[in-house]
A and B are shown apart, each in its own frame.
Chain A
């Protein structure tokens, strides 16, 4: 059963992504578990900006999910080590039914390499449509992936410690 949704929205740059997140949070969308912004730095390494998360202690936060979208073998700013463990985690995600695939990761990585920024929101299924709509209205190109809550818990348990 998919009880969570990851909404991902690609923006022209990090400023546009941050502005969208500020407005999204202010809209008070219920049950937004976590919001993050993903960009590449000048060395091509993933940097995540955890704009807000009150679920870090409850399971896999958006930082982990966004980190899995990045290139294999790089570290991300939230302290999620993505080196040797990444392949195993991705395998677990596929096995457990998290709705993110290699093709999604490669496509989003290419967008980031082009200087764009991704906003990721981990939310309840009921809020996903409104979140996707808000992010699109803010200028993002948005998509939603359903996520099995058990898969999130399993990934959180298997992942290195997050901050």
Chain B
């Protein structure tokens, strides 16, 4: 008998850094995509517990909100991942090479 419903998610689908440091869980729709989870984890690493100067919210919450708007508007996974990472280099600690290595040229160039 298979036990799929009891198994843990694949590691790529599991929040890696955000929950470990007390950051909010990614939304359910995002966790269904390995690509988006990679982008989310990279964003979590880049922003950590950083808060925004404009509204003092967690930077990670902001980029997830941007990604959610793109997702809800019907844009594809790659552009939604770009939304997750749009501040990772400029305002976070990620280097462009990190984004390219983790996400590939297709996303880093968009």
Contact = CB atoms under 8 A, between A and B. Distances in A.
Interface of A: 14-16, 18-19, 21-23, 25-26, 39-42, 47, 49-51, 138
Contacts of B75: 23, 26
Interface string B58-82: 0000100110011001010001001
Interface string B11-47: 0000000000000000000000000000000000000
Interface residues of B, number: 18
B2 interface: no
Contact of A41 (B53, B65, B69, B82): B53
Contact of B83 (A19, A40, A41, A49): A19
B5 interface: no
Contacts of B8: none
Contacts, number: 49
B101 interface: no
B3 interface: no
Contacts of B73: 19, 23, 138
B110 A26 contact: yes
Contacts of A19: 66, 69-70, 73, 83
Most interface-central of A22, A26, A41, A49 (chain B CB within 10 A): A22
Most interface-central of B54, B75, B82, B87 (chain A CB within 10 A): B54
A22 B81 CA distance: 10
